[in-house]
Amino acid sequence: MDNLKYISFKDFDHNDTFFSSLKQNYREFGDWLTKKANDDEFAYVLYGEGGIDGFMYLKVEDIVSDVTPPLPHGRHLKIGTFKFNARGTLRGQRFLKKAFDFAVKEKVDDIYVTVFSEHENLISMFKTYGFQVHGVKETPNGTEYVFIRSLHAVTGDILKDYPIVVARGKQKYMLGIYPEFHTRLFPDSILKNENSNIVEDVSHANSIHKVYLCAMRGVMNMHRGDVMLIYRTSDNQGAARHRAVATSVCVIEEVKNIREFSSLEEFLYYCSKFSIFTKNELISFYRTQRYPFIIKFTYNIAFKKRPNRAILIDNVGLNESDYWGFMPLNDAQFAQIIELGEVDESLVVN
């Protein structure tokens, strides 16, 4: 299992073979690493079994005039250096989620990145999440494309808008998840004495997309673009009124019935990339069909404050006698829970 860390430039090996291609393509790269270490700056470093497997440096800038045309006036997040050894499809997405988290935390207007045209897979990933060509950057190493992603514009495409949640006109629901699954599924929404600082979170489970299996029939009523609040059920260390809490906002990509898969292999291929469940758990679920409903969704926002069951009943007006495993919400209830969760207003379009 690899490990993504946010660490000082002083604390990783600049001579790791991972950086060889960057030093070949960018003659000044070695000196740049040394300068950043001397300036006590930080970067995201992904460690695999054999050493460094991924790297991303982020920088907030107010004026960007070294690209053509210059970026508009505002606050920009630059993905300054970005490389990872691709194994599967999750690594780039995990880094990108970190960039979005960082951008939200720093309240920037947009994120931009410069990429050489030959990095087609990287460009494809950026386009998937709403990055568009802005212009070019001329460097001693050649011409790079400049891709930019606004954090204010809304397209109506749930991936191109991520992490913004377009709630207007959509159905809203609340899904209850047991604590042992919740911690594995939503690392940014961990509770109590676990470290919940988004920038320092090093959980391997940090990805944009999630897959969850359950047996609650109502979930099959959900459609792409519907909004789902996550409710962490009680850990039985006290009364549920105080221990069970709402934690996160997600957007539905699709919902499937396990019977739609023609084979175990097809089922595993669909679920394993984004699921918190182990391969053995998934095999067991497929064979027993104990959890026949499969929800694929994007993990958009972790609440800053987590309203508990008592507040959801007393303040929001949810019915204590209703089934809290899966519950439809009206627009007013959703808006009130979002407000109680202290969600950044710019991230939800009501």
> DSSP letters along 75-113, please?
-EEEEEEEEE--SSSHHHHHHHHHHHHHHHHHT-SEEEE
The number of residues in the chain equals 350
| Domain-embedded: residue 261 | yes
Average pLDDT over residues 22-46: 92
**Residue 201 located in a structural domain:** yes
Please indicate, yes or no, whether residues 229 and 108 belong to a single structural domain of this protein: no
Tens digits of residue pLDDT in 56-65: 999 999 999 9
Cα-only R_g, the chain? 21
Domain CATH for 272? 3.10.590.10
227 and 144, same structural domain?
A: no
Please indicate, yes or no, if residue 158 is contained in any of the structural domains: no
Mark whether 188 and 306 lie in a shared domain.
yes
With a pLDDT cut of 90, the percent of the chain lying above it is 68
Please tell me whether residues 341 and 253 are part of one structural domain. yes
The number of domains in the chain is 2
Domain that holds residue 301: 165-349
pLDDT at 195 over 60: no
More confident residue, 41 or 142: 41
In angstroms, what CA-CA distances link 171 with 167, 174, 219, 220, 227? 8, 11, 12, 13, 6
Residue 160 lies in a domain: no
The answer to whether residues 315 and 174 belong to one domain is yes
Judge if 95 and 19 occupy the same domain: yes
Three-state DSSP class for 328?
strand
- 170 in the same domain as 121: no
**CA 178: distance to chain centroid?**
21
Q: Which of 89, 118, 150 is the last residue of a domain?
A: 150
> Which one-letter amino acid corresponds to residue 314?
D
Question: What mean pLDDT comes out for the span 228-248?
Answer: 81
What is the rounded average pLDDT of the residues 152-172? Answer: 96
Q: How confident is the model at residue 275 (pLDDT cuts 50, 70, 90)?
A: confident
Residue 156 lies in a domain: no
Q: Are residues 127 and 247 in the same domain?
A: no
pLDDT in tens, 90-140: 788 889 999 999 999 999 999 999 999 988 989 999 999 999 999 999 988
Question: What values do phi and psi take at 7, rounded to 5?
Answer: -135, 165
Arithmetic mean of pLDDT, 34-40: 96
Cβ atoms of 104 and 110 within 8 Å: the answer is no
Structure tokens that stand for 163 in this block: 């992490």
Reduced to 3 states (helix: H, G, I; strand: E, B; else coil), residue 25 is: helix
Among residues 150, 181, 215, which one ends one of the domains? 150
Does residue 176 sit in the same domain as residue 318?
A: yes
State how far the Cα of 75 lies from the Cα of 109, in Å rounded to an integer: 5
Same domain, 199 and 337: yes
Q: Are residues 19 and 129 in the same domain?
A: yes
Closest CA to 174 of 330, 343, 348, 347: 330
What pLDDT is stored for residue 194 in this prediction?
38
pLDDT score of 188 more than 60: no
